[in-house]
Amino acid sequence: MAQVTERHFSQGHDRDIRVNICRTDAQPSRVSRRCHSAGVTAILLRMTTDTDSGSGEPALTIDELAARAGTTVRTVRFYGTKGLLPPPVIGPRRVGHYGPEHLARLALIEELQHQGMTLAAIERYLDRLPPGLSDHDLAIHRAVVASWAPDAEETVTAQELRRRAGRPLDGEDVERLVAMDVVRPEGDAYRIDPGLLRLAVQLLDVPLSEKAILAARTVLTEHSRAAAHELSQLFRTEVAERAEEDVKSLSAHMQPLIVQALLTTFQRSLRAEVHQWLPESCPESEEGRPS
């Protein structure tokens, strides 16, 4: 994320877009080691379990937050003065501390900026978000926003790759990203899929094998393609008699709505599936959950 001032936001289109999602307030819960497929259970719990919002005490200084987000301290302060970031928690010696929500908000702001939204549009977007969203909820919003952009790969340096990742990457991490088909070496540079990079980086810390991750990706890809095909056929019938420009306009308007609907529907379906088998496969999964 480059340093941003209000002047930078004067460029681009002022898109006033509202996205409402199903609240999840999801956090990882402590899962017994005796559970079958503990890694999978932990991931599904994060996606489907309703718990208190917030994912840990704010522990980052403003310098650490800026470094993690790939931006500058000046930009973080600028966003704070504009109300785009909530104020930090003031700790000992009057030092402000930031947490996962601030980091997730910075990532969301970056994505909105990438979509060409002005500062005013971003302020309106954030003002319309439900209060008390967790960092996980904000990440879902960011995923929906990212889906509006057309597919486009980028070539970046190793340094830029690490900045985009928002965390240090060693050789093994890069190899795993390559195996996930999110990063592709090209000489001294890398070809990346910006829409999937952040997600893939988060998967680096998930206790699952590359084989399981790639299998999950195959399942999602195949079913999403099938859904896209059926929806395309459905809408093609509806717009068969309309002018080409009207069809293009309707398609641009419907795409984010369809993605949002798919996301919400999938979350609810996954939650229902997990609640069917989780008690039997992991009877102690409730242990350690916040009350």
Contact 192, 153 (CB under 8 A): yes
Q: How far apart are CA 167 and CA 260, in angstroms?
A: 28
Token pair recorded at residue 22: 């199903």
The DSSP element (H or E) to which 77 belongs, if any, is helix 73-81
pLDDT category at 61 given cuts 50, 70, 90 is very high
Which tens digit of pLDDT belongs to each residue from 136-192? 788 777 777 766 655 567 899 988 898 888 788 888 899 889 888 889 999 999 999
* CA 92 – CA 155 distance, rounded (Å): 43
Residue 165's pLDDT is what?
84
Phi-psi region of 267 (alpha: psi -120 to 50; beta: other; left: phi over 0): alpha
- Residue 29 is predicted with a pLDDT of 36
What's the pLDDT at 147?
63
Q: Which tokens hold the place of 56?
A: 């840990």
